[in-house]
Chain A
Amino acid sequence: MIKVNIKVKRDKFDVAIHETFSNGITGIFGHSGSGKTTLLNSICGLVHPDKGEIIIQGKKVYCSKEKINVPVQKRNIGYVFQEGRLFPHMTVEKNLHYGLKKNGANQLGFDEVVEMLNLKHLLQSKPKNISGGERQRTALGRSLLSSPELLLLDEPFSAVDTKLRSQIIPFLLKIHKTTNIPLLVVSHDLPDLLKLSNKLCIVSDGKCIGHNDYYKLLKDKSINGILSNNSFVNSIDMKVSKVKPEEGLTVLSHSNSGNSIKVKCERSRATYQVGQNLKIFINADDIALSTNKLEGITIQNQLEGIITDVIEKDNITLCMVDVGFNLIVEITRESLKRMNIDKGSTVCCLFKSVAIDVAG
């Protein structure tokens, strides 16, 4: 648990945040200049708040009243910066070794991290000779090897091409699964954040205006304006229940509902094993609604559910459908009227297998 109650004076506005972050992955979302980075910098000690206290895993690292201010290097926090900030005069290997604790208290060994982040072939390279994604992975590895109790990531996707962005997400999920270190991820890119976690903390003008599950935040009228400028992504935890390479399909099931989603199995994913946990992402506008199941159609995923909420904001209409798990479906207002559906209606959510993106 990370408890933050701080006030930092800034030119335009004061950053005043009073939140408790749980041990999972929390996405911190907000526009540029909203105070997200100030929050991270205060937690790690690069910025000294004017008032307040910060407690990380029960340890008080900052308290203005008690005059406690643990120096940056003793806070035991991993921080992955937007630009990676690798030391340009050192090889990847030396960068990784930089923060390595010598007392052997490492949760992950050097070889393990190199293996997990696929860095082996880069060890002897200098940072300037590797790609943005590789630099970001090296920075992640370097932070992990310093055995942090908390990992902060500031816009970890923005220095990487859009194409490569999705590549860093599986690594982050894998890190969290292996080490159980809490992750605070700052980004102004909602779809990328949602791929990591549904737990969001929304920061605007230095204040936290919402800290909850994404689906619940969407219903909050005071907040959904900030969220609706982005495309919506469904992020769902699934388990592999059947692998059928001969049919080019992998069948996934959701742990709570038993609802199964059929996923087209691509070559790279032929290694799926029954029982394996996966996170899948489906864009809200890749899902279609029908009033009943359709025969004679190539779309294999047809999930029946009940509309639990209809959110209308500007030109967008979002339907929350409970198919055993929550699905957000983006449709036009015209469709809503034409099909005569509303809260409580039973609908079928249709989406092609290829619309599903999977992170291991």
Chain B
Amino acid sequence: MSDIIGFNTAEVQAIILSLKVAVYCSVISLPIALVLGYKMARYSFYGKPIVEGIIHLPLVMPPVTTGYLLLLLLGSNSAIGQWLYQAFGIKLAFTFPAAVIASVVVSFPLIVRSIRTSMEMVDPGLEDASRILGAGKLKTFFKVTIPLAAPGIISGTILAFARSLGEFGATITFAGNIAGETQTLPLAIYAYMQIPGQEGTTMRLVVVSVVISFIAMAFSEWFIKRRKQA
């Protein structure tokens, strides 16, 4: 797999890895964000502001700080890191899963926020109506709440996907910049920028990055438009 439309192996690896991280990130974030977004929208509970603060922290914190905190929390020298290694032989820091974890943490506030807002807009009266008609909480959630909050859920997921594609600081700190393992598009662009004579490669990757982001946004717009027409 030397040259595909002018891309070399390392570039293709970076593109595929980026997409893989973004997909994993969206798929993992979505169910957690659905549950959390719903709880935040519908219930008030003890310590809600603290939970909100923790979720939103990565939105305002420098990503490098987030990455460093992740390293402290899950790195080989941390309690959790050591336990994971001793019990299961798993090492997280500077691996592909670390890149996914960094992406999830950084993009999570965006997806939760979007889902929560859209769920707040769903009339709780419709959920009551569903339950009176004999549907349990779970059926009500899947048949009424989720379909009605769908535009927010989709755009939140795409936002998380796009944020994951652009993730740099937390990834490089917690997952490193290992080609084929953790070197996503932004990291590859950064790496090629450092090497004289690689301006062409850098430019190609920048274009790919723009195109992927654009497609994601276009899909989101298309979906929301289709929902409105239905």
Query: Min CB distance, A39 to chain B, in Å?
Result: 15
Q: Are B148 and A79 in contact (CB under 8 A)?
A: no
In angstroms, Cα B130 to Cα A46, docked, is 12
A351 and B147 alpha carbons, distance in the complex (Å): 55
- Contact assessment for B134 and A101 in the assembled complex, using a CB-CB cutoff below 8 Å: yes
| 8 Å CB contact of B129 from A75, A76, A79, A101 | A79
Provide the main secondary structure of the chain A interface: loop
Minimum C-beta distance from B147 to chain A (A): 5
What are the interface flags for B88-127 relative to A under an 8 Å C-beta threshold, 1 for contact and 0 otherwise?
0000000000000000000000000000000000010110
Distance between Cα atoms of A75 and B135 in the complex (Å): 11
Stretch of A84-92, A190-198, A216-224, A311-319 contacting B (4+ beta carbons < 8 Å): A84-92
Tell whether A99 pairs with B125 under 8 Å between CB atoms, given A87-B144, A89-B147, A89-B148: no
Assembled-state Cα–Cα distance A188/B147 (Å): 35
Given A85-B126, A85-B129, A99-B148 contact (CB < 8 Å)? no
Closest to A74 in B: B134
Count of chain B residues with a beta carbon within 8 Å of a chain A beta carbon: 17
Tell me the complex Cα distance, A146–B129, Å: 12
Within the complex, the shortest CB–CB distance from A84 to chain B, in Å, comes to 9
Instruction: Count how many chain A residues have C-beta atoms less than 8 Å from C-beta atoms of the other chain.
Output: 23
Question: Roughly how many angstroms separate A168 CA and B123 CA in the complex, as a whole number?
Answer: 25
Q: Is there a chain B Cβ closer than 8 Å to A27's Cβ?
A: no
Check A44 against B132 for contact (C-beta < 8 Å): yes
Say which residue of A46, A83, A88, A142 sits within 8 Å of B133 (CB atoms).
A142
Q: A98 near B148 (CB under 8 angstroms)?
A: no
CA–CA, A205 to B123, complex, Å?
28
Docked Cα-Cα span, A304 to B148, in Å, equals: 61
Complex Cα distance, B139 from A98, in Å, reads 11
B49 within 8 A of A: no
Q: A75-B132, A76-B134, A98-B135 are in contact. List 14 more A-B contacts (CB 8 A).
A: A73-B134, A83-B125, A85-B123, A85-B125, A85-B128, A85-B129, A87-B126, A87-B130, A87-B144, A88-B148, A89-B148, A98-B130, A146-B132, A146-B134
The 3 closest A-B pairs by CB, nearest first: A99-B133, A85-B129, A72-B131
A residues contacting B by CB (< 8 A) are 44, 46, 71-79, 81, 83, 85, 87-89, 98-99, 101, 142-143, 146
Interface residues, chain B, CB within 8 Å of chain A?
Answer: 123, 125-126, 128-136, 143-144, 147-148, 230
30 pairs from A and B in contact (CB 8 Å cutoff): A46-B128, A46-B132, A71-B131, A72-B131, A73-B131, A73-B132, A73-B135, A75-B132, A79-B129, A79-B132, A81-B125, A83-B125, A85-B123, A85-B125, A85-B126, A85-B128, A87-B129, A87-B144, A88-B126, A88-B148, A89-B230, A98-B130, A98-B135, A99-B133, A99-B134, A99-B135, A143-B133, A146-B132, A146-B133, A146-B134
